[in-house]
Copies of this chain bind each other. A is one copy, B any other.
Amino acid sequence: MLEDKDAETTNLEKLGEFGLIDHLTKSFTINQKSTVKGIGDDAAVLNHTNKKTVITTDLLIEGVHFDLSYMPLKHLGYKAVMVNLSDVYAMNATATQITVSIAVSNRFPLEALEELYAGIRLACKTYNVDLIGGDTTSSKTGMLLSITALGLAKEDELTYRSGAKPNDLLVVSGDLGGAYMGLQVLEREKEVFKVNPNSQPDLEPYSYIVERQLKPEARKDIPELLKKLKVKPTSMIDISDGLSSEILHLCKNSGVGCNLFEDKIPLDPTVISSCEEFKIDSTLVALSGGEDYELLFTIDQTDFEKIKGNPNLTVIGHMTDTSHGANLVARSGAQIPLTAQGWNSFNTSESE
């Protein structure tokens, strides 16, 4: 599909580096007041006066972080932006700008990059962030994306990983495990396709979890909701590597322990049914699956009434003294120490 076989496609060599950047970015608009100068000079210029700047960066590599045999390029562009914006929201900040660097081998025609940038553009528009720069080059093999996102927050709004205190409540947005189970479905269909290229997969029953994998949404709404509810999290992190790994980050950075209640972990019915189908434990999937891009945060107990009953938020545990350790309280009542089973890119080619 992506090979440059079609006579209608455009070879990248024809455009050259600067022509390519111009072509791919010409339909992007600048909407943020803080963007003084976007693409087109040695550097972009931003006016971040009166607020703190947050900055985060992620590298996505074909064959390590994504598989183009089931990931449409438009979705890839969208998801690559989400991965970065999620980190900005995890600081309780507003995302304002991104830079996008790509390297592609010449197996990709221009039309493939147009698809990728259509996804990036949709993400920029939906989340109101400006594309302000980047780099475009060739690679020896495959595609890689390096995105940096910037955001703004008032100093007293910023939420670090380090502020959790014993007795704080542990809260998560949305539900967990969907992205990982979506990946399992897509990997299975890929194997079926290899055996029988004429098979027509029925992904309809899995649409929620497949979308969680292919088109995740960063939780821009959560910092906004918390502001509205007048709740300032004492600590916050986004869930990219799995709940267990993220909880351990909060515990380590804050110097606290934790009780996570297995029966409180929010799971979508599709996650539960697909876990049964694949014979995987759904708690393990939520703890270790990753890529859900939900926000995990702690709040003071006195704020509980403000968030109680909100359909976007679930209290899943509470922080403890550090000597207690970080534990999963199983349905049986047994306490099981949490381990970082989150993604390790050096010994697996699975998802981040």
**Which chain A residues have a beta carbon within 8 Å of chain B's beta carbons?**
12-13, 15-18, 20, 36-37, 40-59, 61-65, 87-88, 90-91, 93, 97, 99, 101-103, 106, 132-142, 144, 146, 148-151, 158, 160-162, 236-238, 253, 340, 343-347, 352
Given A46-B54, A64-B139, 4 other A-B contacts at CB below 8 A? A43-B54, A43-B91, A44-B56, A141-B141
Q: A61-B140, A64-B138 are in contact. Are A99 and B13 (CB under 8 A)?
A: no
Q: A36-B52, A64-B137, A346-B106 are in contact. Are A43 and B101 (CB under 8 A)?
A: no
Which residues of the partner chain B approach A50 to less than 8 Å between Cβ atoms?
Answer: 49
Which residues of the partner chain B approach A44 to less than 8 Å between Cβ atoms?
Answer: 54-56
Q: A57-B99, A57-B134, A59-B135 are in contact. Are A345 and B17 (CB under 8 A)?
A: yes
- Asked whether A90 lies within 8 Å of B17 as measured between CB atoms, the reply is no
**How distant is the Cα of A37 from the Cα of B163 in the complex, in angstroms?**
14
- Asked whether A43 lies within 8 Å of B61 as measured between CB atoms, the reply is no
Residue of B nearest to A58 (CB): B135
- Asked whether A43 lies within 8 Å of B141 as measured between CB atoms, the reply is no
Which residues of the partner chain B approach A48 to less than 8 Å between Cβ atoms?
Answer: 46, 48-49, 53
**How distant is the Cα of A29 from the Cα of B326 in the complex, in angstroms?**
31
Which residues of the partner chain B approach A146 to less than 8 Å between Cβ atoms?
Answer: 57, 59, 101, 135, 146
**How distant is the Cα of A36 from the Cα of B59 in the complex, in angstroms?**
23
- Asked whether A56 lies within 8 Å of B16 as measured between CB atoms, the reply is no
- Determine which residue in A65, A237, A345 has the highest number of CB atoms from chain B within 10 A of its CB, and name it: A345
- Asked whether A138 lies within 8 Å of B58 as measured between CB atoms, the reply is no
- Asked whether A344 lies within 8 Å of B43 as measured between CB atoms, the reply is no
Q: How far is the CB of A89 from chain B (nearest CB, A)?
A: 8
**How distant is the Cα of A183 from the Cα of B46 in the complex, in angstroms?**
36
**How distant is the Cα of A163 from the Cα of B141 in the complex, in angstroms?**
40
Q: How far is the CB of A333 from chain B (nearest CB, A)?
A: 31
Partner of A144, one of B56, B103, B237: B103
Q: A49-B49, A55-B133 are in contact. Are A41 and B91 (CB under 8 A)?
A: yes
- Asked whether B346 lies within 8 Å of A43 as measured between CB atoms, the reply is no
**How distant is the Cα of A36 from the Cα of B152 in the complex, in angstroms?**
13
Which residues of the partner chain B approach A42 to less than 8 Å between Cβ atoms?
Answer: 56, 87-88, 90-91, 161, 236-238
- Determine which residue in A54, A87, A99, A236 has the highest number of CB atoms from chain B within 10 A of its CB, and name it: A54
- Asked whether B158 lies within 8 Å of A55 as measured between CB atoms, the reply is no
- Asked whether B101 lies within 8 Å of A140 as measured between CB atoms, the reply is no
Partner of A47, one of B47, B52, B137: B52
**How distant is the Cα of A337 from the Cα of B80 in the complex, in angstroms?**
42
Q: How far is the CB of A255 from chain B (nearest CB, A)?
A: 14
Q: How far is the CB of A253 from chain B (nearest CB, A)?
A: 7
Which residues of the partner chain B approach A20 to less than 8 Å between Cβ atoms?
Answer: 346
Residue of B nearest to A63 (CB): B140
Which residues of the partner chain B approach A149 to less than 8 Å between Cβ atoms?
Answer: 43
Q: A52-B45, A64-B140, A140-B142 are in contact. Are A40 and B101 (CB under 8 A)?
A: no
**How distant is the Cα of A17 from the Cα of B160 in the complex, in angstroms?**
20
Q: How far is the CB of A133 from chain B (nearest CB, A)?
A: 6
Q: 3 nearest interchain CB pairs? A: A146-B146, A43-B56, A42-B90
